[in-house]
Amino acid sequence: PDCEPHGILHSPQLQVFYLCFYGFMTQIRPGESFITPYLLGADKNFTQAEVRTVCRRPLTK
């Protein structure tokens, strides 16, 4: 019986890479220094209170 992984998609190195990549991507958060002025721009029509209470809530866990 052949007990080795079949193909490159099942290699332990690739699985470790996927795990590390997933961990990295879950930690990425947009920079608040960019988002706040962008949302307060004249063309977005958000108030400071809306940005503070509604829009920034998902950024802070």
Predicted pLDDT of residue 53: 79
Predicted pLDDT of residue 1: 47
Length of the chain: 61
In a domain, 19, yes or no: no
Distance CA 42, CA 54 (A): 18
In a domain, 51, yes or no: yes
Tell me how many domains the chain contains.
Answer: 1
In a domain, 55, yes or no: yes
List pLDDT tens digits, range 5-49: 555 666 888 889 999 999 888 887 666 667 778 888 888 888 888
- The DSSP line for the chain is ---S--SGGG-HHHHHHHHHHHHHHHH----HHHHHHHHTSTTT---HHHIIIIISGGG--
Which structural domain range is residue 58 located in?
A: 31-61
